[in-house]
Amino acid sequence: MFSNFVVMDICNEHLESYLERTCDEENPLLKSVNRETYLKETMPHMLSGHYQGRVLAMLSKLAAPNTILEIGTFTGYATLCLAEGLSKKGILHTVDVNVEQEERVQGYFDRSEYASQIKYHIGDAAEVIPKIEGSFDLVFIDADKKRNHYYYELILDKVPSGGLILIDNVLWKGKVLDENPDNQTKQIIDLNEQLAQDQRIEKVLLPIRDGLFVLRKK
């Protein structure tokens, strides 16, 4: 009886366009970052983009964090979205290894209303994070997928009870459902299964773009 059942593609362009039309617009700076990323970067799809950016901003505003940590800055789009929820004296630390993008991305931050609240670190996150004092009320992990679980364990003790951890790309273009996944997909599947069993957190995986794991520390 299910032979004619069709699974809807949750990431199709028509739906994405509809989602973008029904959420808040990008501000002029975000539009500029979006446009320039697609003009100047070889892998512009790494950008969070309009809809996911609004989701990140909403989660940040709900959490109202004093301190945010972002692992993986890219061109700073998600950084600026997350900064929207910062408390008035809050600080956002964002870490990336790409020194070639530093000047342009710092320029975006300097043009934003959060310029004094964003601390941009260039270096290996594994080395930078232990040097940042204090706790993190919200963490967004969007960097080297092979090290996602390492980053998660690295920051978990620095997240207070009730703090949020967001991990991007956990559906990996739907490859997590493949019967014979490649090695990189297996790593993401392993991460998802480990998080699903982790009793230190509450969790829900949202099918937004490439998958967003939302974790709340107990």
The pLDDT tens digits along the chain (218 residues) read 333 333 444 557 788 889 999 999 999 999 999 999 999 999 998 999 999 999 999 999 999 999 999 999 999 999 999 999 999 999 999 999 999 999 999 999 999 999 999 999 999 999 999 999 999 999 999 998 899 999 999 999 999 999 999 999 999 988 999 999 999 999 999 999 999 999 999 999 999 989 999 999 99
Dist. CA 50–CA 30, nearest whole Å: 8
Q: What is the pLDDT of residue 116?
A: 98
**DSSP class per residue in 135-193:** --SEEEE-S-GGGHHHHHHHHHTTSPTT-EEEEE-SSGGGGGG-SS--HHHHHHHHHHH
Does residue 212 belong to any structural domain of this protein? yes
Q: Containing domain of residue 57, as a range?
A: 13-217
Q: Give the three-state DSSP class for 23.
A: coil
- The Cα 135–Cα 189 span in angstroms is 28
In a domain, 8, yes or no: no
CA distances in angstroms from 184 to 45, 70, 189, 196, listed in the order given: 18, 22, 9, 19
To the question of pTM greater than 0.85 for the whole model, the response is yes
Residue 49 domain flag: yes
Distance CA 190, CA 35 (A): 35
Within-domain flag for 50:
yes
- pLDDT (tens digit, 9 = 90+) per residue, 44-84? 989 999 999 999 999 999 999 999 999 999 999 999 999 99
Give the CA dihedral 47, 50, 56, 60, nearest 10 degrees: 120
Considering the domain boundaries, does residue 6 fall inside one?
no
Total domains in the chain come to 1
Q: What is the domain-level CATH number for residue 77? A: 3.40.50.150
Does the residue 1 lie in any domain? no
Q: Is residue 89 part of a domain?
A: yes
* Residue 2 domain-assigned (yes or no): no
